[in-house]
Structure 1
Amino acid sequence: MDFNKKIILSVGPIVLAGLVVIASLCIPTKAPVVSKEMICQSATALDKKVYTGELVVNQALSDPKYIPFIGASELSRFDMFHPNVLAEKYSRNYRPYLLGQSGSSLLNQYTMLNSLNNAPASGKIVAIVALSSFEDNDYQNDNFVNSYSELQTMKWLSSLEKVTEEDKIFADNLLQMPGSIISPVFNQALKKVSNGEKPNDFHRLVSKMKYYFDKNIETRFGVKVDDNPKHKKSKMYIYNNGIAENLNSLPDTYDEETLFKLSEKIGKKYSSNNKVGYYNPFYKMNIKNKPHKFNQMSGKYKDRYHGISKGFADFELLLSEIAERKLDAYFILPTMHPEWLKHTGLPKKSIDDLNAKLTEQLTSQGFNNILDMNQLSGDYLMQDPLHIGWRGWMELDKAIKPFLEGPKNPNLDYQLNDKFYSDEWKNYRP
């Protein structure tokens, strides 16, 4: 037996086995049933694999008890007034299902909602809009990349039968993202979609194979949100333990006035090492221990203006998906800690104009459930520059509790307007 035959006989079976494995991962397989325990845990885990995948989130949202709360890092600020803690403590008829990561953009939220097999069975959604989504800079795009889901993108690309305005805008946005998140093959497909053309058969086949490959990887290896739930470094432990610890700190009976007073008391307690109402660890880590960096922020945002941004088009994409899914939606509009406004020099008009435009964009199209946090006043609304604080969560609960506990609005009438994708709207100043 010559040398080449020996090589083929020794290596061939390994190569063949590898090809069989790869091929098996590129064909559709039936998704396993996710346990109720895993779904319950995943509701608060903010696990990236859940957020960028589809296995767990699709099964979770098929239960009408779970209402998706989409947002970014503010979702992870657990205290006793966090929506998940209040829902658990007072045995409400719903549970928030938290979907977001630190820095998750409106475009990430659109991608995730677009990938769902079906509309959430609750028929509802809560969207916490982040101020950072309306900052036109590389930081915003980097945030998208950090929460980017190739699986969800390939699912969208492989299933395109007709290219809509939303598809064109989404494809164009993907093409503008930094880094190599899209391979050359799919880059060509996105250019076609951006121009209003369907991907060709080759692109559809390859994207479908890639989707099934990623889906099977997720099914077999990727999702372990309940892995080591008692391990102190796991997200499951951190967030579920955070809820458990806070449950015992709340009064047994829900009383709004009592809880508001308690939120102010707790806010004062946990911001005791400074005079401006920042959460103690934030103040110690970012101000007391880094005075030079803090001083560099003085007046830094005096020329920043959030009222002009490409974020309005991304927001419209999200609204289009909410309307397509016929979801009853509640929107929480952003604010900033007043002391941070003062320190950075950001004009309050920047946020006022942003929220005025968001409100017009929402109400003119039939989205009428809105809490503008920038219109609220008082202490402890925010725990740091951008994240909701103790009394802030109570203000949110006061606003959305009837919406969450009640039935879905049977008379939804969304009238979408493409003008909100335009440069004219982006550049409009109220």
Structure 2
Amino acid sequence: MLKRLWQIFGPVICALVLVVVVIYAYPQGRKYSYEAEKRSAVTLTNENFKSRKNKTTALSDQNHRFVPYFGSSEWLRFDALHPAVLAEKYDRNYRPYFIGQRGSASLNQYLGMQQMLPELQNGTAVYVLSPQWFTKKGYNSAAFQQFFNNDQLSSFLSQNQTDANSQYAAKRILEMKPEITMKSQLSKVAKGQDLNTVDKTYIQFMAELNRREDSLFSPLAASNNANYDKKVLPYLKELPDQFSYDALDQLAVRDAEAHTKSNDFGIDDRFYKERLSKKIGKLKGFQKNLSYEVSQEYGDLQLVLNQFAKSNTNVIFVIPPVNSKWMAYTGLNQDMYDATVSKIRYQLESQGFTNIADFSKDGDQPYFMQDTIHMGWKGWVAFDRVVNSFVSNPTPAPSYKLNDRFYSKDWSGYTGTPSQFK
């Protein structure tokens, strides 16, 4: 009987042991390569988002300063005025490391931060905060899972904390992925229960295994991506050699005029043709009932704020606008949008996060938006005027005063005057 069981399960056990041995045998040291780091910084893929080593190698390079730029799909809007192109052309004292793409909102960003806590400590960051994330239905599990991995989970659990922040995060992870590795330990954290010695030992083992696995596969996460060579370097020659915001604004207008001839919305021709032209009639008025004021995303945002405060990170938040012509066409309510921004700003400012670049009212400026909700051309220039100054001249983080009430359902569902929330 034992022989038969071994014949069935023996090969599987041996294969698992071999995998663990290979993972543990793989060297863990970091090899710094500025060229590789610059390419990784613009590798906007799910795999690179989830990779610990690629991020931490660049962000820990003492000879070259990389700054994390957290956000979502706006980073994919490359043109001559994209932040990566400007930083490279004018050889600034930093390079942006872009973290996020379409579908990566605050919960994923918070968990990704767990992989890079030493690199965030006492550092500088940029965080683009899109009101479009704050939908009533909230983040869906499919979107969450494409940016989530076990290394983030074990990194989170390794903190061994049972405060309101950790409880909320654990509950949200279980909502997004009910059947999950280390569910027993995660459930304890969600309930505010202490982890026992067995739990902590298991978490430490898994954390080490996940880190080593990430180290083994991290080269693949940044391979076969040509954003730096195809979407950064070619644009350098279009920029003036002498830096000037007036010259950049003029370039932005010329580029925008050349690429917005097919529609009356000021939207990039290619985007309009590929994404909108065939269904434009069906989109009229389709956002008239949409609201961003009630959303679980406010609690997810609080996770991010909590982490920035713990890490003593000085961060600038960027709030983008919506293309005003598109807003009018689709029926998106401007008053609702303004109320959402006010609610977001109150959550930030009341806790000491006062570095805010609020562009929410600039959606009616010609050539500010590249498409319906993403900045481009003159929008990128406006972005750079504020963000470059902040990042180029790093200062210590202000004194943050966190309020756990922002995790509550009362706040996520609140639609009154933000300053009157109790």
Superposition TM-score, scaled by structure 1 size: 0.88
| 1:393-429 per-position Cα deviation (integer Å, ceiling 9, x unaligned) | 1110011121111132x36211111121122222222
Structure 1 residues not aligned, in runs of 5+: 228-233
In the other structure, the counterpart of 1:170 is 169
Name 2:368's counterpart in structure 1: 381
- Taking the aligned partners of 2:194 and 2:307, their CA distance within structure 1 comes to 20
**CA shift in 2, pair 1:17/1:224, >3 Å:** same
Query: Does residue 63 of the first structure (1) align with residue 61 of the second (2)?
Result: yes
CA distance in 1, matches of 2:25, 2:120: 23
Per the TM alignment, residue 252 of structure 1 is displaced from its structure 2 partner at its CA by 0.5
Q: Aligned equivalents of 1:226 and 1:25: distance in 2?
A: 21
CA distance in 2, matches of 1:16, 1:428: 53
Aligned to 1:329: 315
Q: Distance in 1 between matches of 2:121 and 2:187?
A: 35
> What does 1:247-262 correspond to in 2, within 5 Å?
247-262=236-251
1:363 matched residue in structure 2: 349
State the distance in 2 between where 1:81 and 1:160 align: 40
Contact 2:317 2:357 in 1 (8 A): yes
For normalisation by structure 2, the TM-score amounts to: 0.90
Q: Which residue matches 2:29?
A: 32
Q: Report the counterpart of residue 347 of structure 1 in structure 2.
A: 333
Deviation of the 1:53 alpha carbon: 2.2
Measured at CA, do residues 7 and 398 of structure 1 come closer, stay the same or move farther in structure 2, by a change above 3 Å?
A: closer
Choose which of 185, 191, 194 in structure 1 pairs with 2:187: 191
In structure 1, the residue matched to 2:378 is 391
Partner of 2:124: 124
Instruction: Note closer, same or farther for the CA distance 1:114–1:225 as it changes in structure 2 (3 Å cut).
Output: closer
Structure 2 residue runs of 5 or longer lacking an equivalent are 418-422
The CA distance in 1 between the partners of 2:289 and 2:4, in whole Å, is 72
Q: Taking structure 1 as reference, are residues 316 and 425 closer, same or farther at Cα in structure 2, changes over 3 Å only?
A: same
Greater displacement, 375-384 / 196-205:
196-205
Does the CA contact (< 8 Å) of 2:167 and 2:192 recur in 1? yes
Which range moved further: 191-200 or 210-219?
210-219
Contact residue 128 and residue 317 of structure 2 kept, 8 A: yes
Contact 1:306 1:354 in 2 (8 A): yes
Give the 5 Å matches for 1:394-405: 394-405=381-392
Distance 1:375 1:276 in 2: 17
Q: Distance in 2 between matches of 1:22 and 1:343?
A: 55
Maintained 8 Å contact 2:137/2:295: no
User: Which secondary structure does the structure 1 equivalent of 2:78 belong to?
Assistant: coil
**Is 1:98 equivalent to 2:98 in the alignment?**
yes
Aligned pair 1:314/2:300, yes or no?
A: yes
Contact 2:110 2:303 in 1 (8 A): yes
SS at match of 1:371: strand
Give the conservation status (yes or no) of the 8 Å contact 2:44–2:100.
yes
- Judged with a 3 Å threshold, the aligned counterparts in structure 2 of structure 1 residues 336 and 28 are, in CA distance, closer, same or farther, namely farther
Q: Contact 1:25–1:216 at 8 Å: present in 2 too?
A: no
C-alpha RMSD of the superposition: 2.6
1:20 to 2:6 alignment? no
User: Alignment partner of 2:312: what SS?
Assistant: coil
Shift in Å, 1:162? 3.0
Q: How many residues align?
A: 412
Q: What CA distance in whole angstroms lies between the structure 1 residues aligned with 2:236 and 2:109? A: 29
Q: Percent identity?
A: 29
Offset, 1:160: 3.7
